Structure 1
Amino acid sequence: MIKTDILIIGASIMGLSIARELHHRHPELIITLIEKEDSPGRHASGRNSGILHAGFYYTPDSLKAKFTVEGNRLLTAYCLQHNLSINRCGKVVVAKDEEDLKGIYALKNRGDKNGVELQIIDEQELSQIDPNAKTYCKAIHSPATSVVNPKEVLNHIATGFKKNINLLLNEKFIKREGLHSAVTNKNTIHYRHLINCAGLYADKIGHQYGVGKHYTLIPFKGLYIEYKDSNFIQKHIYPVPNLKNPFLGVHFTKMVDGRVKMGPTAIPVFWRENYEGLSNFHPGEFFEILRYEAKLFLMNSFNFRDLAFAEMKKHYRKYFIKQAAHLVKNLEEDKFGNYLTPGIRAQLLDTRTMKLEMDFVVEQEETSTHILNAVSPAFTSSFSFSKFIADKVEKAM
């Protein structure tokens, strides 16, 4: 039996950040992280776009708004302090018509309330900061939006752990055993408090502890295509999003090395690690997720039917590319290259209302804390979010 003060499930950006924060506060605590893969961040964290969001998409009373602004500042400072790759190129949000102009002002209003540095600029000002960006009348400029290399950040945090933090790889949580023990594929681990940062499986683990019983995760696949011209854009270029759903729409991103990619999709898939073809196929997940997605489709909850049709069409390359054509003045289709590493967004669904959870969701019971919904901008928010979780854990212990 392994004995530890804190057991963290999942060496994601969230799990690593929480371990780091708790160690800073209480260096005497024994902290054990278990990760089912052979390295940290093999799923959502390591497949993340790397964008450090500024924090203007989120309603002012949300946890996302609370943590993103500070998280951006903290993670930017961390990268600069440790000489990690960061491209501080900034971002523009552009409009395509009169209706989008309302969205521009709505985003600026949210940004002001959240304390985000933003400017509304006209077409001439936009052309000065990014000659190829295209908008209708007005756009938003967000200088604080940047991009990092997610795997580099994850590995730097993980390799920087000091005494009393143990990272166990290829160690998969199997089940809860009693009040203070967990069984893995290799060990029984006795803990004082458990923190569930299991991402795609956070809901399943939470259910074993009696929390989040009315939640389930619905996976959405994100695909990106590389654009083979690093001078194509100077800023990240995003459309005005539909603020009623959690997806930001197809956009152009400057990667940390200056290369450009377009995406992502938000294609509903049928098992949790459904990255490519039949890889990682899980029959039980397939039938469970199919049942919920069929129900969402029939009810058309949060316009799921329309979303599903629109997203499935993005499997067709020309249609996918067309979705971003209005963001720029000049686009050469033959410069689009290969699809890049796909990711899965673990989006929480409330089975009572059949609506997606728009905000972070955290629940606790006597000996455990469960991060049930940690979708974008969780990577950006991780250092700030980890303080919030550490506060909760301190009170529970």
Structure 2
Amino acid sequence: MEKSYDYLIAGGGIIGLTIARELKLRYPHLQIGILEKESGIAYHSSGRNSGVLHAGFYYTEDSLKARFTREGNQKMTAYCLHKGLKINQCGKLVVATNEEEVRGLEELKRRGDRNGVELQWMTEEQTSRIDPSVKTYKKALYSPSTSTVDPLEVCNAIYQEIVSLGVEVLFETAYKGKQDATILTNNGELRCHYFINAAGLYADRIAKDFNYGDDYTIIPFKGIYLKYAKNKEDVETNIYPVPNLANPFLGVHFTKTVDGTIKIGPTAIPALWRENYRGLENFKLKEFFSILYYEAKLFITNSFNFRRLAFEEIKKYYRPGFINLSLNMVKNIDRRGFGQFARPGIRAQLLNKKTLELVSDFVLEGDEQSMHVLNAVSPGFTCSFPFASYVVDEIEKKKQIPELNHQLKMKV
């Protein structure tokens, strides 16, 4: 039988889950469904990320990321504490290795001040009091509001909440296309008054069926973390280098997880298909040629120094070299103490096909019938609660169907 929903969402990651939650809290009587092609929620980026709740000082003040990261950190922290979820409120140190990187710290402090994010200057001595293993040049920045959570635990808590509110999640049900208000899936047809695309790695593909996202394509980057197996004491907080602010990656850093585990990473290795986790797993020939085409263009034009980025990232497959990148930030780490690589993740990074630039901010496109989250990369997990509210606000602005608007108001 053909089912019908007021809102139908593609994607059971953190963005799809929080949008469903926001809709249900605003409109408790509406029928809301989520399409998820996997057998469970948060199977891809949302369940494979570092779990860091960022503070919001990396981003320029006019960006959506700056707007949502600080608020998202506060809301996600409050949610975890309220629900009794694991959270490690250990903070973060951003360290420098030379005078140029000290100037980079100063730029981060300016951004943090403009974004209303607490950042504290630390001398080398003060830094050592927070974490005796940290090594920095002259000074460092301390972010007390940075913490880590278990991303799968958080997603499962939100999933349980929305199901209890009446949201229907259709597992192993993949979007296959559309015909007017009918959404085609591998498990039959579904009708919806409004469609929301939060499909992550495949968001650009789905958007094109609705005549959106023509300027963009997803370029996947593989992120890998290496666990420190010797102990859980050699590093006590998250330790980050000064990033290259010209690209959206933060560099290899130390993460202190909710259970105290230490890991370094991630990589940002250009992947050759969208779910290129291991070997030929999930290989799709059409994706391979499409992604290879754009990566070749980036290599030839050397847009945003792609050649250097690609070479540097591919070298991280060499384990000793990968470990060496982390050693500049610490004094007392046993290079032989590292164990296994963690489960890899894929970053769904949006590329502007016209300018050949990586899009660093959130991108949202839509109208009175559909809305498409084209770019929700890091710190999308941290931003998810306020970003979901923003998406629903934008949907309300776009909708031009008086009858349905009237129904929504009456049902609330």
Work out the CA distance in 2 between the residues paired with 1:52 and 1:339: 22
Superposed CA offset, 1:217-276 (max 9, x none): 000000111012210111100000000100000000001100100000000010000001
Work out the CA distance in 1 between the residues paired with 2:22 and 2:188: 26
Could you tell me which amino acid in structure 1 is paired with residue 365 of structure 2?
Answer: E
Deviation at 1:395, TM superposition (A): 2.4
Could you tell me which amino acid in structure 2 is paired with residue 341 of structure 1?
Answer: R
Residue 69 of structure 1 corresponds to 70
Could you tell me which amino acid in structure 2 is paired with residue 91 of structure 1?
Answer: K
Could you tell me which amino acid in structure 1 is paired with residue 130 of structure 2?
Answer: I
Contact (CA 8 Å) 2:118, 2:143: kept in 1 or not?
yes
Q: How does 1:354-373 map to 2 (within 5 A)?
A: 354-373=356-375
Q: How does 1:200-215 map to 2 (within 5 A)?
A: 200-215=201-216
Residue 351 of structure 2 corresponds to 349
Deviation at 1:396, TM superposition (A): 2.9
Residue 340 of structure 2 corresponds to 338
The correspondence for 1:247, drawn from 249, 257, 277, is 249
Work out the CA distance in 2 between the residues paired with 1:49 and 1:181: 37
Contact (CA 8 Å) 1:29, 1:164: kept in 2 or not?
no
Task: Please state whether the residue corresponding to 2:328 is helix, strand or coil.
Answer: helix
The correspondence for 1:274, drawn from 265, 273, 276, is 276
Work out the CA distance in 2 between the residues paired with 1:329 and 1:216: 42
Superposed CA offset, 1:278-337 (max 9, x none): 100000000000000011001100000000000000000011111111010122111000
Work out the CA distance in 1 between the residues paired with 2:271 and 2:21: 33
Contact (CA 8 Å) 2:24, 2:165: kept in 1 or not?
no
Residue 320 of structure 2 corresponds to 318
Q: 1:336 to 1:176 in 2, by over 3 A?
A: same
CA RMSD of aligned residues (A): 0.7
Superposed CA offset, 1:51-70 (max 9, x none): 00000000000000000000
Work out the CA distance in 2 between the residues paired with 1:215 and 1:299: 17
Residue 172 of structure 1 corresponds to 174
Deviation at 1:392, TM superposition (A): 1.3
Task: Please state whether the residue corresponding to 1:4 is helix, strand or coil.
Answer: strand
Deviation at 1:164, TM superposition (A): 3.4
Task: Please state whether the residue corresponding to 2:140 is helix, strand or coil.
Answer: strand
- Residue identity (%): 54
Could you tell me which amino acid in structure 2 is paired with residue 95 of structure 1?
Answer: A
**Residue 113 of structure 1 pairs with residue 114 of structure 2:** yes
Work out the CA distance in 1 between the residues paired with 2:166 and 2:190: 15
Deviates more, 1:215-224 or 1:159-168: 159-168
Residue 405 of structure 2 corresponds to none
Q: How does 1:14-53 map to 2 (within 5 A)?
A: 14-53=15-54
Residue 408 of structure 2 corresponds to none
Superposition TM-score, scaled by structure 2 size: 0.95
Could you tell me which amino acid in structure 2 is paired with residue 308 of structure 1?
Answer: A
Task: Please state whether the residue corresponding to 2:94 is helix, strand or coil.
Answer: strand
Could you tell me which amino acid in structure 2 is paired with residue 349 of structure 1?
Answer: L
Work out the CA distance in 1 between the residues paired with 2:384 and 2:188: 28
Contact (CA 8 Å) 1:297, 1:305: kept in 2 or not?
yes
Residue 159 of structure 2 corresponds to 158
Task: Please state whether the residue corresponding to 1:160 is helix, strand or coil.
Answer: helix
Q: How does 1:213-228 map to 2 (within 5 A)?
A: 213-228=214-229
Superposed CA offset, 1:25-57 (max 9, x none): 110111001100000000000001100000000
Superposed CA offset, 1:196-222 (max 9, x none): 000000000001110110100000000
Work out the CA distance in 1 between the residues paired with 2:150 and 2:138: 34
Residue 87 of structure 1 corresponds to 88
Deviation at 1:163, TM superposition (A): 4.2
Q: 1:337 to 1:4 in 2, by over 3 A?
A: same
Q: Which runs of 5+ in 2 are unaligned?
A: 400-412
Instruction: Report runs of 4+ in structure 1 exceeding 6 Å deviation.
Output: none
Residue 8 of structure 2 corresponds to 7
Work out the CA distance in 1 between the residues paired with 2:292 and 2:214: 19
Contact (CA 8 Å) 1:32, 1:165: kept in 2 or not?
yes
Work out the CA distance in 2 between the residues paired with 1:176 and 1:107: 45
Q: 1:254 to 1:2 in 2, by over 3 A?
A: same
Contact (CA 8 Å) 2:272, 2:292: kept in 1 or not?
yes
Task: Please state whether the residue corresponding to 2:104 is helix, strand or coil.
Answer: helix
Contact (CA 8 Å) 2:367, 2:395: kept in 1 or not?
no
Task: Please state whether the residue corresponding to 1:303 is helix, strand or coil.
Answer: helix
Contact (CA 8 Å) 2:10, 2:16: kept in 1 or not?
yes
Contact (CA 8 Å) 1:209, 1:365: kept in 2 or not?
no
Q: Which runs of 5+ in 1 are unaligned?
A: none
Could you tell me which amino acid in structure 1 is paired with residue 19 of structure 2?
Answer: I
Work out the CA distance in 1 between the residues paired with 2:23 and 2:328: 46
Residue 396 of structure 2 corresponds to 394
